[in-house]
Amino acid sequence: MDWLIDRFRTEPNRCAFIHEGREVTYGDVLITIASFRTRIDATGISKGDAVVVLGDYSPEVFCLMLALAQNGSIVIPLTKNSVIEESVALDVSGCDWYVEFAADGIGATITPRVIASDNALLASFRERGSPGLVLFSSGSTGKPKGILHDFNQVVEKFRKQRQAVVAIPFLMIDHFGGINTILAITASLGTVVTVSDRSLAKICGAIECFKVELLPATPSFLTLLMASKLHSNFDLSSLKRITYGTEVMPQSTLDRLIKAFPGVNLQQTYGLSEVGVLRSQSRNDGSLWVRIGGEGFQTKIVNDVLWIKSEYAMVGYLNAPSEFDAGGWFNTQDQVEVDGEYFRILGRVTDLINVGGQKVYPAEVESVILDVENVQDVAVFGETHNLLGQIVVAKIVLDQPEAVENVKRRVRQACLAQLASFKVPAKVVLAEGVLHSTRQKKIRRE
C-alpha cells in the first residue's frame, strides 16, 4: 500500500481529518504514520503478529492501522460497541498485541497480550507475508464469523483516484463498510469528519458545521431522520450525495428523502464483508432499482438470489468453511428482482416470512406502515403459527401514545389497500425505544 502513502505526500497541506473540531492535514497523517512505525519497531511488533486495535474513528487510529499494515501485521479493529464480545473475537483470531486508544482517539497504550491461535488459515496466510485485516460478522444468522482479508487487496480497490469529498464515516471502523468508507475518502484526498456519537443531532450538526458533502448512512438512520424532521432544524445544504446500504430501504423513506433533499444524489450501495463493496448506480426514477458491479466484480442470479464473484474477496473464514463455490462465486442470500441491468433487492432469505407457502418481505410491509399516521418506526418479522407456518407481526414505535387497537385498525386498512391480504400483519405490537442496533440497522426478531 505504499502507493497510498505516496498519494498523501502529493497534498501535505490538504485537510485529511476533522476530528472533534481538530483539523489534521495529510502531512500530519504522514508524520503520525512514521511515528507509529518507529513505535512498532521499538515495541517489537513483528510481521504476522495479530494486533487488536480498540478504538473508533480518529486520525491516530487510522494511522496506526496503516502503519501496522506496512509492517505486515494482522490488524483486528474492535470498538467498545463491537458486534461480538471481545473475548469471543480474540478466541477466534488469536492475539499477540493489544492497542487501546483513549476516549479522545489520540493516546494509545500498546501491551503484549498473547492468546494463542492454531488457526490453519492464519498460519498459511502468514506465510504469504501480506498484512491481514480481520473483521467479524454480527452473527445475526448464526455463530459470528471471523473474516480474514488481505489488507493490501482491500486498499488496492481505491488506487484509481476519484473526486475528493468531505464526508462522515457513518459505519464503524470494525465494519467492512466503515473501512471501505474511510479508505475511499482518504485515497481520493478528501476530508473525513468524525463525530463522537452517531445520533441524529450530532450528525446533522457536523454536516452544518463542516459543510459535509457526502453522508453514507443506513436506511434505519434515514427513516428516523425523516420521522424526527430534525433535518429542518439544520443547514444541510452542503450535502451533494446521500448513500444508503447494509439493509433494504423502504420506498416510503426514499420518497421522503427525495422531497426533503431536492438536488441531492440519493445512491443505493451494496456490499458484503466477504466480497467487498461494489460500485453502484441508482436508477434516476426515484425507485430502489440499482445497477451494481464495476471493475473486479461479476454478478449472476440463481433462483432469484444474487451471487457475486470478486477480485477483492476475503481470504476465508477463520472459524467456518468457505461459502464460495468451486468457481469463486458467493451466495449473498439476497433475493432480487431483475430489470435488464438493474436489480431490486427484496431482502435476505433469512428475513423472509412464509405465510402458508406465500413469501412476505418485511421491508415491503414496513414501507407501507411507515406512511401510517403517528408511526415513527416499525420492524416486521414472522412469528410461528401452527396452521400457517408463520404470521406477520409488526412491532411499532409511535410518535404519540395511542391505543393499540386504533393503530392496528389503521395499519390493516393501509396494508389491505396496497398489499395482498396474506402480507397484512396479523399482530401489531407497540414498543418503546428504538428498533435498530447501535449500528443503526433494523432489528427484526420475535
DSSP conformation class of 440: S
Residue pLDDT tens, the chain, 446 long: 899 999 999 999 999 999 988 999 999 999 999 999 999 999 999 999 999 999 988 999 999 999 999 999 999 999 887 768 888 889 999 999 999 998 887 889 999 999 988 899 999 999 988 999 999 986 555 578 999 999 999 999 999 999 999 999 888 888 888 899 999 999 999 999 998 777 899 999 999 999 999 999 999 999 999 999 999 999 999 999 999 988 899 999 999 999 999 999 999 999 999 999 999 999 988 899 999 998 999 999 999 999 999 999 999 999 999 999 999 999 999 999 999 999 999 988 888 899 998 999 999 999 999 999 999 999 999 999 888 889 999 999 999 999 999 999 999 999 999 999 999 999 999 998 887 766 667 777 65
Number of Cβ within a 10 Å radius of residue 417: 9
pTM as predicted: 0.87
User: In the numeric block, which cell numbers belong to residue 300?
Assistant: 449472476
User: In the numeric block, which cell numbers belong to residue 327?
Assistant: 468457481
Q: Who's near 18: CB < 8 A, 6+ residues apart?
A: 24, 191, 192, 193, 194, 210
User: In the numeric block, which cell numbers belong to residue 189?
Assistant: 484526498
Single-letter residue type at 367: S
3-state secondary structure of 339: strand
Cα-Cα-Cα-Cα dihedral sign, residues 211, 442, 137, 79: positive
Domain map (residue ranges) of the chain: 2-155, 352-431
User: In the numeric block, which cell numbers belong to residue 280?
Assistant: 453502484
The closest of 271, 257, 88 to 183, measured between CA atoms, is: 271
Bridge partners for 293 per DSSP: 279
Q: Tell the residue number behind the cell numbers 481520493, with chain if given.
A: 188
DSSP assignment of 165-191: -EE---S-TTSHHHHHHHHHHHHTT-E
- Mode of pairing for the β-strands spanning 427-431 and 22-25: unpaired
* CATH architecture group of domain 352-431: 2-Layer Sandwich (3.30)
2-155 has which CATH code?
Answer: 3.40.50.12780
DSSP assignment of 72-100: T-EEEEE-TT-SS-HHHHHHHH-EEEEEE
CA–chain centroid gap for 131, Å, is 22
pLDDT at 142: 58
pLDDT at 201: 92
Distance CA 282, CA 287 (A): 8
Q: Are 252 and 368 in contact (CB under 8 A)?
A: yes
Single-letter residue type at 212: V
